[in-house]
Amino acid sequence: MTLLQFAMAIFFILIFSFNFIPIPSQSQAVEFTYTGFSDQKSNISLNGVALIDENGILQLTNESSRFKGHAFFPTPLQLKNSTTGAAFSFSSCFAFSIHPEYPKLGGHGMAFTISPSKELNSSLPSQYLGLMNSSDVGNSSNHIFAVEFDTVQDFEFGDINDNHVGIDINSMVSNASATAAYFGDDSVKNDLNLKGGEPILAWVDYDSITNLFNVTISPASVKPQIPLLSMQVDLSPVLLDNMYVGFSASTGLLASSHYVLGWSFSINGEAKSLDLGSLPSLPAPKKKPISLIVSLSVVGSVVLLLASIAIAIFLYKKIKNAEVIESWELEIGPHRYKYQELKRATRGFKDSELLGSGGFGRVYKGTLRHPKTEVAVKRISHESKQGVREFVSEISSIGRLRHRNLAQLLGWCRCGGDLLLVYEYMPNGSLDKWLFDEPKYVLSWNQRFKIIKGVASGLLYLHEGYEQIVLHRDVKASNVLLDYEMNGKLGDFGLAKLYDHGSNPSTTRVVGTLGYLAPELSRTGKATTSSDVFAFGALLLEVVCGRRPIESRSNPEDLVLLDYVWNKWKEGRILDVVDPKMKGHFDESEVLMVLKLGLMCSGNEPSGRPSMRQILSYMEHEIEMPEIVKVPGVGGDDIEGGFENYLYSYASSSFDKTMSSIGGMSSGNVDKSSTSMVTSMSTSPFLHVHSLREAR
């Protein structure tokens, strides 16, 4: 070997060695591609209902309601420079398809996900997409980054519609979102239906140098030049050094099958493009049988006669027990249950399953089999055939309300003269049982304060957070339900009413419960957000005092709780009203604040009462409680006594007038104990929702 050859050999050895020396704190070359999943089951981690079908397609969810599914690359990937803490660039391409149980009705959605965990055990289905739960939404400690493909509009999280793509950072409230669409070669934007059942290619690309994150989708294999979403974001604070990469999906009241056909991913490089033509074919949509045609071949007149009789009996029973589904019902949500399913769940509506009864029906505890879920089933007698369509339409409106402090309506059923409503089950029952009966233990002040703050949050959502204003019209302790963690949820929307923001409610029918009725209702009959606030004020007082708004067994001067509290306030002995069962264990400043709020909410003039937003701000200590409250119409600016004179204007005489006014109504509206009042309703005995035309 010549000297030149030896030198060249040494040079190449040095170059070769340099290229393969591991450099600490740099990303290892990570790149993988799945063109189907049949041969790589061991290389994908599945959780929940996720599975790989016989065609090699990753199916995250099926048509079962309220389930979640996860699929992640089995090992965590290093996504940050361990020395500088800066996030690496990454790129991913994947093909997905969403098949809803019912055309045009999504349920719920899926997301490309980067997470510290591949199990996400504490996550919930429905609007949380299997990523988070109600208590950790918005926490920076989540370290979750996701691109959601959402097919249900959730008002709680500010979704723009039911067909959108969003970028989520530690929250279900998207940092950026857009209606699903793609740009063609001519730069023209074309709409794309996420729940159309066709394969869609998605590209997600993060450039750590420019801190630019792009999301692009297309129904074809060619990547459009213009992304659908482009967002400036530094992912370094969001990502941990090692994270799991994969997908999450969930179903809600309605369900969809969420599929992933192929997937590629790369760190510090561009992910390999996928060709839709080379990926596994989607399964054919399942056809649901509408009728079964039975052909009988009968030999002989006797056999024919017997068969005809048997068929006649069978058809008679079938028609008698049939649930007639009209075409308009298929367009209405939420979920419609089968009557037999609810009958089995409640063990035939046995008295042993009875949770309670009221003016509009009886409530039973039930257990659904698939999936196994505890529910509360309200059975309503509705013999009149008029207004059934309107009744179900109203259920649809209320069923779209979603808030952690509202009891969720899960679905409904109509069979003959029976109307059934299915709610989430509240294991700890209603608040009044804990305040006035003999509970397992006495509610602490912290529990009480947490409950009323939750109800305030729910009422604020009804008044301001929904697309229409929702008046509950029956806020009271028996309508506050408690879940496993003693969170307060406002339930029973039997008297609820919707109308457009900016318009006035048109009803003049007085409904509600004595002790919670605002004084102006006896004059105008028109419920407003202020009348809900009045009822909430009564609730605040009874939670602190452990007494009902009207105590028939009390002394005449203490009959009305509001008068009782006010008298103690005047005497400077306001803490005497606190529920003695708490034995003095409470936060005095919080108790005084809640009592003062209860009195402020109980003023005669609606304009003088605080809004639910103000009330919640007081409770969260975002704003200070006023020392002097002056209300137009009750002394105006000439009030010298300020807050006290204003409150004193509500005397027992006001209650007497209200009682006499209501007493003039039909006797059927007030029960024998004179503590609750229910009025018949024009369209249904359970729900009263005005149409937009009526609201105007």
The CATH number of the domain where 669 resides is what?
A: 1.10.510.10
Contact present, 398 and 377 (Cβ < 8 Å): no
Residue 300 predicted with pLDDT over 50:
yes
253 and 155 within one domain: yes
Q: Please give, one letter per residue, the 3-state secondary structure of 31-75.
A: EEEECCCCCCHHHCEEEECCEECCCCCEEEECCCCCCEEEEECCC
H or E element: which one contains 531?
Answer: helix 529-545
Lowest mean pLDDT among 161-175, 187-201, 339-353: 339-353
- For residues 429 and 71, the model is more confident at 71
Q: What is the mean pLDDT of residues 319-329?
A: 53
DSSP string of 220-238, one letter each residue:
SSSPPSS-SEEEE---TTT
End-of-domain residue from the set 363, 395, 424: 424
322: in domain:
no
Q: How far apart are CA 461 and CA 163, in angstroms?
A: 23
pLDDT at 177: 96
Nearest to 281 by CA among 104, 102, 93, 97: 97
Contact 93, 272 (CB under 8 A): yes
Same domain, 186 and 127: yes
Query: Which pLDDT does position 2 carry in this prediction?
Result: 57
**What are the tokens at 311?**
């068929």
286 found inside a domain? no
442 and 420, same structural domain? no
Same structural domain, 523 and 659: yes
Q: Is 519 left (phi over 0), alpha (psi -120 to 50) or beta?
A: alpha
Domain CATH number, residue 271 = 2.60.120.200
Q: Does position 328 have pLDDT exceeding 60, yes or no?
A: no
Strand partners, 488: 482
Q: What's the pLDDT score for residue 424?
A: 86
588 plus 562 within the same structural domain: yes
Contacts of 642 (CB under 8 A, 6+ apart): 627, 628, 629, 630
| Tens of pLDDT, residues 223-242 | 999 999 999 999 999 999 99
Structural contact between residues 254 and 106, judged by C-beta atoms closer than 8 angstroms? yes
Which candidate, 359, 412, 420, places its Cα nearest to that of 685? 359
3-state SS track over 408-439: CEEEEEEECCEEEEEEECCCCCEHHHHHHCCC
Torsion sign over Cα 532, 422, 674, 556: negative
Q: Which residue has the tokens 């997409």?
A: 129
77, 88 in Cβ contact below 8 A? Answer: no
Burial of 180 (0-12, 13-18, 19+ CB in 10 A): buried
Supply the pLDDT for residue 385.
40
pLDDT, tens only, 458-471:
999 999 888 788 88
Contact 105, 400 (CB under 8 A): no
447: in domain: yes
169 strand-pairing partners: 145
The pLDDT value recorded for residue 360 is 61
Lowest-confidence range among 28-42, 44-58, 675-689? 675-689
pLDDT at 401 over 70: yes
CATH number for position 371:
3.30.200.20
Report residue 189's pLDDT band, with 50, 70 and 90 as the boundaries.
Answer: very high
What's the first-to-final CA gap in the chain, in angstroms?
99
Q: What is the DSSP letter of 198?
A: S
Does residue 578 fall inside a structural domain? Answer: yes
Q: Which two tokens stand for residue 225?
A: 């030049």
20 part of a folded domain: no
Q: How far apart are CA 469 and CA 504, in angstroms?
A: 10
Same domain, residue pair 406 and 452: no
| Distances, alpha carbon 175 to alpha carbons 159, 170, 230, in Å | 11, 10, 11
Taking all residues of the chain, what is their mean pLDDT, rounded to a whole number?
78
Confidence label for 559 from pLDDT (cuts 50, 70 and 90):
confident
Task: Give residue 470's pLDDT.
Answer: 84
* Mean of pLDDT values over 91-96: 97
Q: How far apart are CA 588 and CA 423, in angstroms?
A: 37
According to DSSP, residue 581 is labeled G
For the record, the structure tokens of 387 come out as: 């207004």
Helix (H, G, I), strand (E, B) or coil at 591: helix
Using one digit for the tens of pLDDT, what is the confidence trace for 596-645? 999 999 888 888 899 999 999 999 989 888 775 433 233 333 333 333 33
Contact in structure between 535 and 475 (CB atoms under 8 Å): yes
Residues 232 and 108 in one domain: yes
Q: What is the pLDDT of residue 274?
A: 95
pLDDT score, position 286: 58
Same structural domain, 536 and 685: yes
Q: 67 forms bridges with which residues in the sheet?
A: none
**Model confidence at 159, in pLDDT bands (50, 70, 90)?**
very high
**Which pLDDT value is given to residue 290?**
36
Same-domain check for residues 519 and 565: yes
Query: Minimal CA–CA distance to 96: which of 249, 265, 251, 271?
Result: 249
d(CA 370, CA 359): 31
The span from the CA of 280 to the CA of 262, in Å, is 8
Taking the C-alpha atoms of residue 67 and residue 191, their distance in angstroms, rounded to an integer, is 29
656 falls within a domain? yes
pLDDT bin (cut points 50, 70, 90) of residue 391 is low
Greater model confidence, 408 or 247: 247
672 is in an annotated binding site: no
638 is catalytic: no
Token reading at 301: 């007149």
Q: Is the pLDDT of residue 254 over 90?
A: no
Q: Is residue 399 part of a domain?
A: yes
Domain that holds residue 71: 31-278
Query: Residue 669's CB: how many other CB atoms inside 10 A?
Result: 17
For the question of whether the overall pTM of this predicted structure is more than 0.75, the answer is no
Domain closes at, from 408, 424, 440: 424
Alpha helices (H) in 425-508, listed in sequence order: 431-436, 445-460
Which of the 8 DSSP states describes residue 328?
G
Closest CA to 602 of 588, 591, 615: 615
pLDDT band at 91 (very low <50, low <70, confident <90, very high): very high
The pLDDT of residue 533 is above 70: yes
How far apart CA 107 and CA 250 sit, in angstroms, is 8
Give the β-pairing of 229-232 and 68-72.
Answer: unpaired
pLDDT digits 0-9 by tens, 106-116: 888 999 999 99
| Helix, strand or coil, per DSSP, at residue 267 | strand
Cα–Cα distance for residue pair 138/401, rounded to 1 Å: 21
Residues 593, 657 within the same domain: yes
Q: Give, for 362, the enclosing helix (H) or strand (E).
A: strand 361-368
Number of domains present in the structure of the chain:
3
> End of a domain among 383, 405, 424?
424
What percent of the chain has pLDDT above 90? 42
The whole-number pLDDT of residue 662 equals: 33
Quickly state the pLDDT bin for 554 (edges 50, 70, 90).
low
204 and 339 assigned to the same domain? no
413 and 452, same domain (yes or no): no
Q: Do residues 179 and 205 lie in contact, with contact meaning Cβ atoms separated by under 8 Å?
A: no
From 150, 159, 205, 474, the catalytic residue: 474
Average pLDDT value for residue range 581-585: 91
User: What is the β-pairing status of strands 418-424 and 409-415?
Assistant: antiparallel
Kind and range of the H or E element at 91?
Answer: strand 90-100
- Residue 206 has a pLDDT of 97
- Per cent of the chain over pLDDT 70 is 72
CA 379: distance to chain centroid?
23
SS3 content of the chain, % helix, strand, coil (to 5): 30, 25, 45
- 637, two tokens: 């600016």
In a domain, residue 14? The reply is no
d(CA 406, CA 398): 11
